[in-house]
Chain A
Amino acid sequence: MTDRDPLVARLRNLPTPMLPTATRERIAARAERAFAGDAPPVNVAYLALVALLLSCQAACGAQTIALVVTIFG
């Protein structure tokens, strides 16, 4: 498949779809922030929520054990 292939030439002659400049710049800025490592506040919030849920569960478990010890201990 070479450049002289008329089919390839036709494919290459197709107009290149472009994004608007503002969109390109917005995506570039967002990706650059991700590259620099200051993008994921969502992950931090998610981890904080998981930690909160786990600590609630642990407190509940401790309360249950304390109750069992009080009754049968």
Chain B
Amino acid sequence: MGTDGELVERLRTGDRSAFREVYACYETRIFRFLARLTSDRAVAQDLFQETWIAFARTAPRLEPRGDLTGLLFTIARNKFLNWRRWSLLDVSRLASLPREPEAGDPSGSDAAEELVAVERALARLPLASREVLLLVGVEGLDPSQAASILGVRADAVRQRLARARSRLAELLDAEMKRDPMLERAGLDEGEP
């Protein structure tokens, strides 16, 4: 598999195998990002498809040193924001707005229940905090990359990240207080 630079060069020449490589490389990350942003698999699937169609139309006109990661996450985020705007305008789509994820496997262990608590806490974060945590915390982008995706400065990303992190800790704490079993599971993992 080529580097991003090589892939961009090949995409610019219309190489279909390069497109397949990019898809194979990024599809999991893009779907994960959208699924966590929307908290809804069906919506995430629609936005995922729209993201790739939009990328396919843009790819032959990429800048020579284009940043594939940045571009794909930017398109995915824009698709999400667009969907969210329409959802807020269209009362009939209110039901599909982001909501708390459904409770996980009811037969799950403490560890599985803890994961559900983390998912719930993440879903309850404000959008600005959630997206910065997903990009930097989960997807491992550096703050400058995240800044260009979010359209803010890198130091703003760092501030948002710090706020998001402490808000997530509070929410997770609240989730765990809701279920003392979860709190025990968290302590057992040997947190400092």
Chain A residues closer than 8 Å to B45, beta-carbon distance: 19, 23
Asked whether A59 is an interface residue with its Cβ less than 8 Å from the other chain, the reply is: no
Chain B residues within 8 Å of chain A by Cβ, number: 41
In B6-56, the 8 Å CB interface with A consists of: 11, 14, 16, 19-20, 23, 27-28, 31-32, 35-36, 41, 44-45, 48-49, 52-53, 55-56
Chain A residues closer than 8 Å to B55, beta-carbon distance: 31
In A33-52, the 8 Å CB interface with B consists of: 34-37, 39
Chain B residues closer than 8 Å to A73, beta-carbon distance: none
Chain A residues closer than 8 Å to B115, beta-carbon distance: 10, 13-15
A23-B45, A24-B27 known; A34+B191 contact, CB < 8 A: no
Query: Does A27 lie within 8 Å of B59, measured CB to CB?
Result: no
Cα A12 to Cα B20 with chains together (Å): 26
**Interface segment, B85-93, B132-140, B148-156?**
B132-140
Chain B residues closer than 8 Å to A24, beta-carbon distance: 27
Closest to A24 in B: B27
Chain A residues closer than 8 Å to B168, beta-carbon distance: 7
A32-B20, A34-B57, A35-B16 known; A7+B52 contact, CB < 8 A: no
